[in-house]
Amino acid sequence: MFSEEAKLPDISLEGFQVVRSQYFSRMLEPAMTIWNTSIAFNTISFTALNNCDMVQILVHEKDKSIIVRPVNSKDPDAVNWKKNSTKYSRLECSAFAKQLFEMWGLDANNRYRTMGKVVQCNKKVMLYFNFKNAESWKGTKLVKEHD
């Protein structure tokens, strides 16, 4: 692209700041956040599962991951992840969230967010969230970003 003879000017990076990747395409990815008392999903998560009303949440203890899959309202483990027909909200689930924090060794003073992936199993679309390298937030301050 550049000839060996072309001399490029030297510049200083002083004063420049890295723009975090979260400001780019991540808004188009499913995201899940967990607190020590609740869990939440972004709007893209609902869209990815065709705005279904009921889901089942599966946890993998060792992999620190969660699968969210649509289910029928008659399923005994169905969770209504919608507050009402038009608005989604944070799900209060203290017992579950505290168990996740203990099982995965998370700091109860922080919240954790990770981006998910749309996956398929037995021809059924699901969301997969891996919390091994989740962002850790204390209030509005980012404590640890994805590796």
**Burial zone of 53 (CB within 10 Å; 0-12 exposed, 13-18 middle, 19+ buried):** middle
Contact 88, 46 (CB under 8 A): yes
DSSP lists the bridge partners of residue 126 as: 119
Top pLDDT among 67 and 3 is at 67
| End-to-end Cα distance, the chain | 32
Q: Which ranges constitute the DSSP H helices of the chain?
A: 43-48, 94-104
pLDDT at 13: 84
pTM of the model: 0.78
pLDDT digits (tens, 9 = 90+) for 61-108: 999 999 999 999 999 999 999 766 555 678 999 999 999 999 999 999
* 8 A C-beta contact, residue 137 and residue 113: yes
